[in-house]
């Protein structure tokens, strides 16, 4: 018990550096981004009697929780009703800073022919109930850069959205995203 321990600065510095590196690795682990549909605005109707194509503006809030900025390429989001593709929305190429939020406005078009020829009865029933369920899927690819290293990534987003088809209000939504980073 009487043995005296000599303080060693080298061991202390190595321990502190190891702890700092462990914290940096844990916080640098890629996290899934979040997506939330804020609102839907009607931009135009295109009448092709008796069918109406509808153009919409979808306002989406996107959060990048990662410690690196990202750059993503343009892509198309698919919109489904009762399992059938009824429209699409253009996601323009862009970028987002690290640990930030931004709002995207996506131009979407819903195909009235598909909706009315295959789903007319269900659509009118949903309008009467004022509750319509839509699904959307998109794969977004890009690069995340840390210093001079760029890593490709892919984000897959599945959205399940309940809207009021009369006033285009968002009643409920569930959004799931999964991030895949390619290290090679």
Q: For residue range 145-174, what is the model confidence (pLDDT) as tens digits?
A: 776 677 888 999 999 999 998 888 999 999
Q: What does the alpha-carbon distance between residue 80 and residue 101 come to, in Å, rounded to a whole number?
A: 27
Quick one: tokens of 37?
């549909």
Backbone phi and psi for residue 68, each to the nearest 5 degrees, phi listed first: -125, 145
Q: What does the alpha-carbon distance between residue 170 and residue 160 come to, in Å, rounded to a whole number?
A: 11
SS3 31: coil
Q: What does the alpha-carbon distance between residue 21 and residue 156 come to, in Å, rounded to a whole number?
A: 30
Q: For residue range 119-132, what is the model confidence (pLDDT) as tens digits?
A: 889 999 999 999 99
């Amino acid at each position: 018990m009487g043995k005296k321990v000599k303080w060693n600065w080298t061991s202390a510095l190595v321990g502190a550096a190891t702890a700092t590196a462990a914290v940096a690795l844990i916080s640098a682990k890629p996290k899934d981004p979040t997506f939330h549909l804020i609102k839907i605005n009607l931009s135009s109707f295109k009448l092709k009697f008796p069918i109406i194509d509808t153009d919409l503006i979808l306002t989406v809030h996107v959060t990048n929780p990662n410690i690196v900025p990202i750059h993503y390429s343009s892509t198309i989001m698919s919109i489904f009703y009762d399992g059938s593709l009824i429209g699409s929305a253009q996601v323009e190429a862009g970028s987002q800073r690290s640990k930030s939020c931004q709002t995207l406005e996506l131009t979407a078009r819903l195909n009235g022919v598909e909706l009315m020829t295959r789903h007319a009865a269900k659509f009118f029933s949903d309008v009467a109930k004022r509750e319509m369920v839509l699904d959307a899927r998109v794969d977004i690819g890009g690069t995340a850069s840390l210093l001079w290293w760029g890593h490709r990534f892919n984000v897959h987003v599945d959205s399940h959205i309940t809207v009021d088809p009369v006033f285009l209000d968002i009643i409920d939504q569930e959004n799931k995203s999964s991030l895949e980073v390619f290290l090679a």
